[in-house]
Amino acid sequence: MPNIAENNEIQTVITTFEMTPGTCEDLLDALKAAYADFISKQPGFIAAGLHVNDAQTRIANYSQWQRREDFQAMLRTPEMRRRNRDINELCKSFEPVMYDVAMTFD
């Protein structure tokens, strides 16, 4: 389960993907497969979520990792590099950004 809390040691990564409605489902399938088959099995992985906007032109991905280095190591694997090349073909752009939780509200 995601743990969204201030002052924790968890690395949060938010990735946004921009695509056309015609490729949204294909991209979503590729991301689901990447998480199910590979990413979720990597050291340091905690949790992730995929969110699609109503127009099917954007996907937001929220993931958490034990350490920043765990996320970076996953990205550098040959498997993820291959998957990212395939993902890149399905979207206009995507950008993973690492964040620290600044504040939470209940």
- Does residue 2 form part of some domain? no
Quick check: is 59 in a domain?
A: yes
At residue 1, does pLDDT exceed 70?
no
Q: Is 1 a domain residue? A: no
Q: How many domains does one find in the chain?
A: 1
Contact 104, 5 (CB under 8 A): yes
Region of 89 please: left (phi>0), alpha (psi -120 to 50) or beta. alpha
pLDDT single digits (tens) 36-93 = 999 999 999 999 999 999 999 999 999 999 999 999 999 999 999 999 999 999 999 9
**Distances, alpha carbon 102 to alpha carbons 1, 50, 83, in Å:** 19, 22, 31
- 7 falls in which pLDDT band (50, 70, 90)? low
Rounded to 5, what percent of the chain is helix, strand, coil?
A: 40, 30, 30
The whole-model pTM stands at 0.90
| Boundaries of domain holding 83 | 11-99
pLDDT value at position 100?
Answer: 86
| pLDDT value at 27 more than 70 | yes
94-106 tens-digit pLDDT: 999 999 888 888 7
Report the CATH number at residue 56. Answer: 3.30.70.100
